[in-house]
Structure 1
Amino acid sequence: MEPEGPPESESSEKAFFSQQEDDEEEEDEEEPKEPEETVPLNPLLQPALTGDVEGLQTIFEDPENPHHDQAMQLLLEEDIVGRNLLYAACMAGQSDVIKALAKYGVNLNEKTTRGYTLLHCAAAWGRLETLKALVELDVDIEALNFREERARDVAARYSQTECVEFLDWAEARLALKKYIAKVSGAVTDTEKGPGKLFKEDKNTILTACRVKNEWLETNLEASINEIFEQKQQLEDIVTPIFTKMATPRHVKSGKSVA
């Protein structure tokens, strides 16, 4: 069975994110070449690479624009490895372009043929502001490429230190969000749980979850350690209650009659 992908060096892996792919087929130099047809330039490419948000919006929103009807098709047009113009915008670090195009309902979690997402691309190129924009747009930061790597792992492989730090921070926030959601779900669906949850305990947990959610919303600059502390505090409140809930209650037996 052949491996999923050919062995690649760091340089060749980096070339995966370049705008032009090398032709894999060798041509016979002695054979005369056919005249190459001129491929029309995608009209979205220039504004996407230069950050011309207004130009892009004109194409998408002005019915009089000659490319209006094909705007989405042009945006999602893919190259040989499955990258569309959003990838070009990521490579160029055009965060505003990504935000603008996201409004037209594109899938920001779409993967290339090798499983790379926009987040992987921005991480490899060290585009910190683009990473931030994508995370704000709620992309999947846990998505894996064909190497089973998250975007954070790709950033680390290319020594993009700031990107690694940011994605570690984003993953810490996600972990707290997921724990809050898990706990809230368990409390509101106690019939599937191992035991009965007292009303007082239920209110205690729901209040703690609400407080932590509010903390996340109001402390956007909190450090990773501070986020971990908040998660630990919530666990310290929730764990004893769930433990008590799962512990069988001993019913006192009545006195035996002589």
Structure 2
Amino acid sequence: DLQALKLLFEDPSEPEKVTHLLLKKDFMGRNVLFPACILGRCEVVKELIKYGASVNSLTSRGYSPLHCAAAWGQLDMLKTLVEMGADIKACNFCNEKAYEIAIRYNKTECADFLAWAEAKLELKIYISFVHQSITDLEKLQGKLNKEYKNQTMAACKSKNEWLEHTKNPTTHDFVEQKLQLEAIMQTIFSKLKTSSDSGKSTSKS
């Protein structure tokens, strides 16, 4: 009951009940999020996470709420959990991500969504990696000239704008955008290596 849950959380006289509800786990290590995920109670899950339930809580065998939602084919729940910060790459004791669980139980729509979400995440991670690499002055000072830095910054900006403004991108679209950025960076890294090798040769002579 969502309303009863909200009343409990908003009642200042019952802090121990709230703490007990959020921290309690069953013999398999499942917290209160797991049954809500099985039942597809998205609003309940949002409320629980809002008040401190861990979206990335793991059972004794490494299953997360995301694994659970995938196994039961709860597509809307998967979307909610990802939106709330669930770790798409979390693996259980068999080294399976939620995507593999969805495949195992023939939950095709869930598997498609998780593949899409991971492709989006991979693009974001790579953009962040590239941006961090060129803004780390301690590592790159004197190694990255202005031209290469501007090219890299422009490429990152372009991909971020694509992420922000592209409507209904597909999994393939995310993969292609990442490959394009990797190709740009490979060219720049190759130029940097050539410049570095040339500098070493000059210093030796």
* Fold-level similarity (TM above 0.5): yes
Unaligned runs of 5+ in 2: none
Aligned-residue offset at 1:168? 0.5
Report if aligned partners of 1:195, 1:246 keep a CA contact under 8 Å in 2.
Answer: no
* Partner residue of 1:174 out of 115, 118, 121: 121
1:246 corresponds to 2:196: no
Matched-pair identity in %: 48
1:140 corresponds to 2:87: yes
Q: How does 1:1-258 map to 2 (within 5 A)?
A: 47=1, 52=2, 54-64=3-13, 67-189=14-136, 191-192=138-139, 196-219=143-166, 221-247=168-194, 248-249=197-198
Aligned-residue offset at 1:194? 10
Q: Deviations over 1:7-39 (max 9, x none)?
A: xxxxxxxxxxxxxxxxxxxxxxxxxxxxxxxxx
Structure 1 length-normalised TM:
0.72
Q: Which has the higher helix share?
A: 2
Q: RMSD over aligned Cα, in angstroms?
A: 2.1
Please give the secondary structure, in 1, of the residue aligned with 2:53.
coil
Aligned-residue offset at 1:99? 1.3
Aligned-residue offset at 1:156? 0.6
Report if aligned partners of 2:31, 2:57 keep a CA contact under 8 Å in 1.
Answer: no
Report if aligned partners of 1:152, 1:167 keep a CA contact under 8 Å in 2.
Answer: yes
Amino acid at match of 1:169: W
Q: Within 2, Cα distance between the matches of 1:206 and 1:246?
A: 19
Q: Within 2, Cα distance between the matches of 1:252 and 1:239?
A: 22
Report if aligned partners of 1:194, 1:246 keep a CA contact under 8 Å in 2.
Answer: no
Q: Within 2, Cα distance between the matches of 1:131 and 1:187?
A: 34
Q: Within 1, Cα distance between the matches of 2:79 and 2:16?
A: 31
Amino acid at match of 2:121: L
Q: 1:164/1:195 Cα in 2 relative to 1: closer, same or farther (>3 Å)?
A: farther
Report if aligned partners of 1:184, 1:209 keep a CA contact under 8 Å in 2.
Answer: yes
Higher relative contact order (CA 8 A, sep 6+): 2
- Map of 1:8 onto structure 2: none
Please give the secondary structure, in 2, of the residue aligned with 1:142.
coil
Report if aligned partners of 1:195, 1:245 keep a CA contact under 8 Å in 2.
Answer: no
Amino acid at match of 1:61: E
Structure 2 length-normalised TM:
0.90
Amino acid at match of 1:156: I
Report if aligned partners of 2:78, 2:110 keep a CA contact under 8 Å in 1.
Answer: yes
- Could you list the runs of 4 or more consecutive aligned residues of structure 1 that deviate by over 4 angstroms after TM superposition? 250-253
Q: 1:74/1:243 Cα in 2 relative to 1: closer, same or farther (>3 Å)?
A: same
Q: Which has the larger radius of gyration?
A: 1
Report if aligned partners of 1:143, 1:151 keep a CA contact under 8 Å in 2.
Answer: yes
Please give the secondary structure, in 2, of the residue aligned with 1:208.
helix
- Map of 1:36 onto structure 2: none
